Amino acid sequence: MINTRLTKDAGIRYPIICGAMYPCSNPELVSAASDGGGIAILQPVSLTMVHGFDKPNRKEGLRAGIRYIRTLTDKPIGFNALIEKGSEKYIRQMSEWIDIALEEGVLFYVTSLGKPDWVCEKVHAKGGVVYHDVTNRKWAEKGKECGVDGLICVNNRAGGHLGELSMEEMYVQLSDMGLPLICAGGVGSELELAKALKIGYDGVQMGTRFIATDECTTPQDYKDAIVKAKEEDITWTTKLTGVPISVINNSKLKKNNSWPIRRLLDSRFKHRIRVLITAISFWRMRAFSKGKGKSSKDLWSAGKSVETVNSIESATVVMERLGKSIDGDIL
């Protein structure tokens, strides 16, 4: 039995998180990954706006979605809260979603892109824990000041929002903070998992590997692209959210936004502009996830762990294989 601070906090067998992914975190993927012994994180915008759990409204739709996942697995699941300020309406919606998730017994939370103090207050009152996405010491210290229980250390090999430091550099920079550290980025196989744990991380967060699975309902051409891609095919763009995102390269990909948008992203309006850019990208991703035409290649986010993804398998099988490869190695 593996014991780390993550397995204790999340109540899981293996110290592996299937990270939240918009639009890829459909209920079947979340349940299958959690069934494998780690923990999968549901993404509320994805669940309600992409995967049909928006009736009679997005608040009660989320409740229905969580209950549906509970019919598929009795294992722990987590909740992702993107909390960047910029839209008061969105933050109110996220606050209501967190309340619903807590009412439904979800006790593991991952926050991103914002100040998580208010999330910690809500979650801790119900006996839950909050882990926070960070890319460097500055944001880690801010998260700790807000009361987070662990840090998701996003490195320079991650899919989605991209860090600047290596797996090793992140650990050296944050190892004295007294919080569980989770390696996020570049982990796709047993080799990288063992490496992260040997460095000293309490666990790993993986996303790209779980897109190329049977249960993930993302378009087949996206899954196939991940299987075919190599590490050198991964690049970045700011056009999807206003901050660097790892994507699979293609001939039409543009890395940067136009000059006026770049100016606005450096201004006091940056949060509102990022919310607007992200909303546009989210609607495009929603369209291709609902089968309205082929998915656009500029939306194919993936990390450098694509190098180790060679086939499409069950998410449960992937999680179990990874977990069993380290079972008994960590005390």
- Domain range for residue 250? 221-299
Answer whether residue 254 shows pLDDT above 80.
Answer: no
Q: Note whether 148 and 255 are same-domain residues.
A: no
Residue 133 maps to a domain: yes
Q: Which residue in 274, 301, 223 sits closest to 112, CA to CA?
A: 274
Q: Note whether 185 and 236 are same-domain residues.
A: no
Q: Note whether 149 and 174 are same-domain residues.
A: yes
In whole angstroms, give the CA distance from residue 295 to residue 222.
7
Residues 226/299, Cβ–Cβ less than 8 Å: no
Answer whether residue 328 shows pLDDT above 80.
Answer: no
Q: Which pLDDT belongs to residue 257?
A: 47
Residue 291 maps to a domain: yes
The average pLDDT across 98-116 equals: 95
Q: Which pLDDT belongs to residue 246?
A: 75
Tell me the per-residue pLDDT of 263-295, one tens digit each, with 9 for 90 and over. 443 555 455 545 554 554 555 555 555 555 555
Q: Which pLDDT belongs to residue 279?
A: 54
The average pLDDT across 97-107 equals: 97
The average pLDDT across 141-154 equals: 97
In whole angstroms, give the CA distance from residue 255 to residue 194.
33
Alpha helices in the chain (DSSP H): 5-10, 27-35, 44-45, 58-72, 88-103, 117-125, 137-145, 167-174, 190-199, 208-211, 220-228, 259-265, 270-289, 315-326
Query: How much is the mean pLDDT over the chain?
Result: 85
Residues 110/132, Cβ–Cβ less than 8 Å: yes
Residue 330 maps to a domain: no
Q: How much is the pTM?
A: 0.88
CB atoms inside a 10 Å sphere around CB 155: 24
What whole-number percentage of the chain has pLDDT above 70?
80
Q: Which pLDDT belongs to residue 330?
A: 46
What whole-number percentage of the chain has pLDDT above 90?
62
Q: What are phi and psi of 238, to 5 degrees?
A: -105, 0
The number of domains in the chain is 2
In whole angstroms, give the CA distance from residue 98 to residue 119.
8
Tell me the per-residue pLDDT of 48-94, one tens digit each, with 9 for 90 and over. 988 889 888 888 999 999 999 999 999 999 999 988 776 788 899 99
Top mean pLDDT of 82-91, 168-177, 303-312 is at 168-177
In whole angstroms, give the CA distance from residue 110 to residue 321.
24
CA 39 to chain centre: 12
Q: Note whether 16 and 116 are same-domain residues.
A: yes
In whole angstroms, give the CA distance from residue 103 to residue 118.
17
Give bridge partners of residue 246 from the DSSP assignment: 160, 236
